[in-house]
Amino acid sequence: MKLFSKILLGLLLLLLVAGVYYYPKLKRVNQVMHFFEQDIIVDNFRTTDEMMTSSEILAAGQGSSFLEAPDAQSVPASFTFGTLTMDVPTYLDSSYTTGFLILDNDSIRHEQYFRGHTAETPQIVWSVSKSFLSALFGIAVAEGKVKSLEQTVDEYCSILQGSGYEGVRIKDVLQMSSGVAFNEDYADFWSDINRWGRGFAWGASQDAFAAGLQREREPGTFNHYVSINTHVLGMVLVKATGQSISDYAKEKLWDPLGMEHDSYWLTDDYGMEMALGGLNTTVRNCAKLGSLYEHQGNWKGKQIIPEAWVMASVTPDAPHLQPGARASSAHTLGYGYQWWIPDGEDGEFLAVGVYNQFIYVNPTTNTVIVKHSANPGFTTSSPLGTTEMFLALCREIVKDLG
């Protein structure tokens, strides 16, 4: 009986230790499982640092604000999307907008916040993070830290050898043409993106997840949106610069642009940023990135990103990257270096994140429009969750600005 009691006590102690160790992980996974529920999604989007580990990006010491136009602009009363005429306030409310800003010729013409957010509220911007990462990557190329986009990603990251990324050019990864098999369906519990999300909440290595993916197509031939592609770019950036993504962002973007507000980037338990969608920042900080790209990488007379990089980032340069329906793409929007390009004559481009995060840039009219949201209907068939509906609103605003 004494031996049995000792064994039982040992098992109980083992279970207690395991419970203490695994409880934070189990809690995070449970939070992720319920993260997008309608009654908590808005609060979750602005408090991700309370659930996950993160890396801080402090506001610039010499922060700068946009000028506010003397003739503040109200949003249009309505806009048309296909056969649907949509009331603008209804659209903003129904898509759970948390922040909305119109920048016209570098002056704020309209700025509005909803659902408890203010200009100082950072929220997770999901895949808008990809466009920030692209900017950082362009700077690293200009500095010679990344030698060429013709190099393969496994030249920098040996863990990718033997995976679907082995032998894939950096350029093909930038252009979402890696050929790697991946299911990005957020409504599918067992999709690759949701498996990755649960693994991230558990604290698993994102690098290892990327190294476990396999190839389904010849790289550089088909436009298929694979979020892990951006994580791979993050891996290359960290290896090439010797800095974390957050530190590099602080040095190369936040300080030079005079970012007004503190931000943070979610990290896994290995300290690696969620490059593909973990940036938490404000509407005005996003507007600065849009303005920087509107001005071809130049900020108040200083070239922050090479003009050639900006132009290449928003110019589809192969048949499978062009806007419009085609057999060589899973999308109707065109694609550049982590930026989306719609069909049109004004040279428009967008940063897009799930649950309706947007940066719209129209360099012809000098317009930048930012929308932060926490739309619980994103995974439904409602047009409120589509990029195309937001684009229709932007075009109506541009016409209204005249």
Total residue count of the chain as it appears in this document: 402
**In the structure, what pLDDT confidence band is assigned to residue 186 with cuts at 50, 70 and 90?**
confident
Q: What is the pLDDT of residue 25?
A: 75
Q: What is the pLDDT of residues 341-363, one digit of tens each?
A: 999 989 999 999 999 999 999 99
Q: What is the pLDDT of residue 202?
A: 87
**In the structure, what pLDDT confidence band is assigned to residue 15 with cuts at 50, 70 and 90?**
low
Find, among 353, 361, 360, 370, the residue nearest to 124 by Cα: 353
Whether the per-residue pLDDT at 83 is higher than 80: the answer is yes
H runs (alpha helix) in 203-294: 206-211, 227-241, 245-249, 255-257, 283-294
**In the structure, what pLDDT confidence band is assigned to residue 301 with cuts at 50, 70 and 90?**
very high
**In the structure, what pLDDT confidence band is assigned to residue 152 with cuts at 50, 70 and 90?**
very high
| Cross-strand partners of 265 | 55, 279
Q: What is the pLDDT of residue 37?
A: 93
Percent of the chain with pLDDT over 90: 83
**In the structure, what pLDDT confidence band is assigned to residue 116 with cuts at 50, 70 and 90?**
very high
Q: What is the pLDDT of residue 29?
A: 75
Residue with tokens 């940066």: 359
Q: What is the pLDDT of residue 45?
A: 97
Amino acid, single-letter form, for residue 217: R
Whether the per-residue pLDDT at 371 is higher than 70: the answer is yes
- Do residues 101 and 108 touch, judged by C-beta distance below 8 A? yes
Main-chain phi, psi angles of 69, to 5 degrees: -60, 140
Amino acid, single-letter form, for residue 141: V
Q: What is the pLDDT of residues 222-249, one digit of tens each?
A: 999 999 999 999 999 999 999 999 999 9
Main-chain phi, psi angles of 325, to 5 degrees: -65, 135
Q: How many CA atoms lie within 13 A of 40 on its CB side?
A: 10
C-alpha 388 chain-centroid distance:
18
Q: What is the pLDDT of residue 12?
A: 63
- How much is the pTM? 0.93
C-alpha 239 chain-centroid distance:
21
Q: What is the distance between the alpha carbons of residues 380 and 227, in angstroms, rounded to a whole number?
A: 20
Q: What is the pLDDT of residues 308-333, one digit of tens each?
A: 999 999 999 999 999 999 999 999 99
Q: What is the pLDDT of residue 70?
A: 73
| Cross-strand partners of 113 | 99
Whether the per-residue pLDDT at 61 is higher than 90: the answer is no
H runs (alpha helix) in 34-94: 41-45, 88-94
Q: By three-state DSSP, how is residue 277 classified?
A: coil
Averaged confidence pLDDT in the chain: 93
Choose between 266 and 20: higher pLDDT.
266
Annotated domain spans of the chain = 41-401
Whether the per-residue pLDDT at 44 is higher than 70: the answer is yes
Q: What is the pLDDT of residue 5?
A: 66
Find, among 270, 401, 395, 335, the residue nearest to 127 by Cα: 335
**In the structure, what pLDDT confidence band is assigned to residue 24 with cuts at 50, 70 and 90?**
confident
**In the structure, what pLDDT confidence band is assigned to residue 4 with cuts at 50, 70 and 90?**
low
Q: What is the distance between the alpha carbons of residues 223 and 402, in angstroms, rounded to a whole number?
A: 35
H runs (alpha helix) in 34-163: 41-45, 88-94, 128-142, 153-156
**Long-range contacts (CB closer than 8 Å, 24 or more residues apart) made by 197-204:** 197/32, 198/29, 198/32, 198/33, 200/32, 200/52, 200/268, 200/274, 201/25, 201/28, 201/29, 201/31, 201/32, 201/52, 202/25, 202/28, 202/29, 203/25, 203/28, 203/268, 203/269, 204/268, 204/269
CATH topology of domain 41-401: Beta-lactamase (3.40.710)
- Do residues 313 and 338 touch, judged by C-beta distance below 8 A? yes
